[in-house]
Amino acid sequence: MKVRISSERCQGHGRCYDLAPDLFGEDDEGYGQVVGEGVVPPDKERAAGLAVSNCPERAIEIL
């Protein structure tokens, strides 16, 4: 499983990195970004799903 954030849709609410700080971080302007290559370890899949479902802009995709 991998995750991706659409920079066109992200509005910088920060829910992704609050819910899954091992998978997401923020850039210099406060917008979400994927940590590393976006690969989600099996033990972090639930956190990735929470981040996806809590993004108000639906900017996060599970690949």
Mind listing the pLDDT tens digit for each residue in 1-27? 999 999 999 999 999 999 999 999 999
Number of structural domains (the chain) is 1
Q: What secondary structure letter does DSSP report for 23?
A: T
The predicted pLDDT at position 43 comes to 98
CATH code for the domain of 8:
3.30.70.20
The predicted pLDDT at position 31 comes to 97
What's the pTM value of the predicted model, to 2 decimals?
0.92
**Domain extent for 56:** 3-62
| Residue 33: burial class (beta carbons within 10 Å; 0-12, 13-18, 19+) | middle
Q: In this predicted model, what pLDDT tens digit does every residue of 33-42 receive, in sequence order? A: 999 999 999 9
The predicted pLDDT at position 10 comes to 98
Q: Is 28 helix (H, G, I), strand (E, B) or coil?
A: coil
Q: What is the mean pLDDT of the chain?
A: 97
